[in-house]
Amino acid sequence: MDDTTSSPQRGTEAPRVPWRLRLFGRLLESWIRIKPDPADPKSLLLPGVPVIYVTERYGLSDALILEQACREAGLPSALIPPPNLSTRRKRSYFATSMRNSLFWNPARRRPPTQPLAELVAQLELLPDADVQLVPVSIFVGRAPNRQSGWFSVLFSENWVVVGRFRRVLGLVLNGRDTHVQFSTPVSLRSVLVQERDQPRERTVRKISRVLRAHFHRIRAAVIGPDLSHRRTVVDAVVNAESVQEFVTTTASKENLTRELAMRRAHDYAVEIAADYSHTVVRSLSFMLSTFWNKLYDGVTMNHFDQVRAVAPGHVVIYVPCHRSHIDYLLVSWLLYTNGIVPPHIAAGVNLNLPVVGPILRRGGAFFLRRSFKANALYSAVFNEYVSQLYTRGVSMEYFIEGGRSRTGRLLQPKAGMLAMTLRAFLRESRRRPVVFQPVYIGYEKLMEGNSYIGELSGQAKKKESLLGLLRSVKKLRERYGRVAVNFGEPVFLDDLLQREAPDWRASAHEEKPEWFGRSVDALAESIQISINRAADVNPINLLAVALLATPKHAMAETDLITQLDLYKSLLAELPYGERMTLTPMTPQQIIAYGEQMQWIRRIRHPLGDVLTSEGKQAVLLSYFRNNVLHLFATSAWIACCFINNRRMARASLLRLSKLIYPFIQSELFLPWDEGGFLERIQATVDFFMRRGVLMPDADGRVLNRGAGQGDAAFQLRTLAHSLLQAFERYYITIAVLVKHGPHTISSAELEKLCTLTAQRLTLLHELNAPEFFDNALFKGFIQQLRERRVIWTDDAGKLDFDAALNIVAKDAKVILSREIRHGILKLAPEPKAAAMGPGTPAAPADSDKAA
């Protein structure tokens, strides 16, 4: 190891690293591989200010690792005294912990604050001098790689203060995975200026305390919080005042002894609680590294640096979209291998299988029942467990959709876990800052694809079992392409509460403040919008949007290339969000990749090849189309307006856009308000005019499309199809409701009739889109009609409406063809004669006159 020197004073010999440390350093350097964070620590330093490094613990290995990291980064040496400071220190670093000598001598034991006190005293004598303190965290054995051995996980970094022998083993087994994190320097002079009126001893203690807290936060972010034994957490939950009240109530209500009620509460807590093990987490990480390499062609992660910057000092709640059981493992593995502790994950109790459940529990999973509204004691225990995790600063992960999406769309959120987190936040007097981190996960193929289709088609959901898990192993032989994990814009809880209820702190102590429900709903919507804004557009998404828009899911290669180019240009010129990512493949490469993944098939023909997706593959592709449906909402809506119209005034387009936006916004979690949506419409129209898809008249007030047989009309028809089925569902709802009349059916009955009508329409027209008759989509549209006061519930619980509903039906004629409207009206179920009362409005008119 070369000598590291600092700028010597004139006439003096440059200080040198002692030969013993140089020798040990050479031996260690041959084995240690350092991963610095940030990649260029030198950029953090204050220019011209002497550097003193601060570490968490003393130790020869830590000193040598710090010296190697400084040399590799071009930083001043840590093993020689700082320049221009005449202190007794022989090194340029100190630790915040007590030094442990090999031969214990009470006379030589100095308090950990002494080096800091000496520096403060020196600066008091030199008013113009300064020192920058650079906190440095060192972790040996942080991230496994493919060369890691199983034995090495036992000696990875954790919270335990280990002895010299264990440290040596850790260096031997994990030294090539050494993580050194340099933090932002602190000017000691600036701190002394701020504390100039305080005694020196108090200032030294305060700086030392802040440094220790900093190292604790960094360690918690990198390897996880210092969790007590699971039994301690369970006892804290059961003995909490809120749980004790329900224990007493349950004992009285069910005529139980208090001991039996306490035992039941304890059993609930044991059933719920995770049993986090650093060793198991590291072992799983090692195993999953091999698993991902065999299952996928690669895992891409975007916008992670922002997560790393936010995590220290916050309780992070990861809220991914939920599309596969793989989601649980993938997010935790990515966080762990990139230097952030994996969160505790709320998992359905159906995953608490023999063998698998205990492993998941030790990996951080805590289990919850699907519904526990009827069990007040269980609800109290679960709420208290979430509060305990928050109080201890444990990051969490849960899926606010409530279950995996079977359609590929984001589901309407179930806000139970959000409400529990908000309650935990409000009840603490010293509130830890909370940030919700949305995560978009994009696949190119799903292991559960076939089962999703079956469930949407009416088959019963198969219960998870160990035998079913073993049977699924054969699916590992298939190819699943690449996976993208995009971290969206974080949602800070403090900021959201300030927007929704500026005076929330005044009523935070109340059981349920009036703004509570509103804030939870706003939080859920913000998370879903942020997930959608971070979408990844992969080749399979684009192929699905294009091919599924044609009657036989087939397209000439030249037309497909043109359509793919239109989609890519649209998303590139008008990006949906700053964190959206788009495949760099060209249209030709996208087609070749789709063939390679066996999503599409090429049919050779002398006049030009045709690309097609057939049978079950076409149905499965609808899932990946729905992943990105929201990205094309604006352009598809404009295209829909020109399916049956050659010309349309801009004013008419904007009027219809204002009318339809609340419904598609609710269904697709679009990010704009009404004004923002209209601006987006104008920008998209301008894009279409630049591409020659739409043409303005002389004064620009009327828009025209080309002839029905032209390329421009074909591109619009293809683009419109992605949103057309939504309007067909809307029309089904209105047709069924008007056909039955007011005061005849309830919301639940309307949902059922709409679902049956859509199923029948699918059978008759061979629509390969199982999500077309998804009950949740009808439920969401009916809810929007009620919120907009288009329909309402009477005293008997039946739906009422007036003639204004016919106006909505009339506007549908602009979008839907006469054939589709007539087909829906014919298929809509007839009401019972007895239910039809006087004054029932007529069914929607089927005239083709434009609105």
Distance of CA 94 to the CA centre of its chain: 39
> For 607, what's the count of Cα atoms within 13 Å in the CB-facing half-sphere?
3
Query: What pLDDT does 474 receive?
Result: 64
H helical segments located in 375-445: 376-391, 416-427
Rounded CA-CA distance 98/118 in Å is 16
Query: What pLDDT does 840 receive?
Result: 45
Query: What pLDDT does 145 receive?
Result: 43
Model confidence at 89, pLDDT cuts 50, 70, 90, reads low
Indicate the range of 17-31, 287-301, 348-362 predicted with least confidence: 17-31
Q: Which residue has the higher pLDDT, 186 or 226?
A: 186
Model confidence at 552, pLDDT cuts 50, 70, 90, reads confident
Query: What pLDDT does 750 receive?
Result: 92
- Write down the pTM of the prediction: 0.75
pLDDT per residue as tens digits for the range 442-454 = 999 998 877 777 7
Rounded CA-CA distance 777/771 in Å is 8
Q: What percent of the chain has pLDDT over 90?
A: 40
> Is 167 a residue whose pLDDT tops 80?
no
> Is 138 a residue whose pLDDT tops 90?
no
Q: Which residue has the higher pLDDT, 33 or 134?
A: 134
Model confidence at 149, pLDDT cuts 50, 70, 90, reads very low
Query: What pLDDT does 839 receive?
Result: 45
Query: What pLDDT does 627 receive?
Result: 95
Rounded CA-CA distance 850/288 in Å is 59
Number of helices followed by number of strands (H, E) in the chain: 31, 24
Query: What pLDDT does 597 receive?
Result: 93
Rounded CA-CA distance 136/583 in Å is 38
Quote the mean pLDDT of the chain: 84
Residue type (1 letter), 337: T
Query: What pLDDT does 525 receive?
Result: 96
Query: What pLDDT does 631 receive?
Result: 97
What is the average per-residue pLDDT within 782-786? 88
Query: What pLDDT does 848 receive?
Result: 43
Q: What percent of the chain has pLDDT over 70?
A: 85
> Is 3 a residue whose pLDDT tops 50?
no
Whose tokens are 């079977």? That residue is: 406
Highest mean pLDDT among 146-150, 521-525, 846-850: 521-525
Query: What pLDDT does 142 receive?
Result: 58
> Is 171 a residue whose pLDDT tops 80?
no
Model confidence at 161, pLDDT cuts 50, 70, 90, reads low
Model confidence at 467, pLDDT cuts 50, 70, 90, reads low
Distance of CA 835 to the CA centre of its chain: 48
pLDDT per residue as tens digits for the range 260-285 = 999 999 999 999 999 888 778 877 88
Residue 838 DSSP symbol:
T
3 state DSSP class of 510: coil
Rounded CA-CA distance 753/387 in Å is 42
> Is 402 a residue whose pLDDT tops 70?
yes
Query: What pLDDT does 784 receive?
Result: 86
Distance of CA 468 to the CA centre of its chain: 28
Query: What pLDDT does 522 receive?
Result: 96
What is the average per-residue pLDDT within 489-502? 95
Query: What pLDDT does 559 receive?
Result: 95
What is the average per-residue pLDDT within 115-131? 86
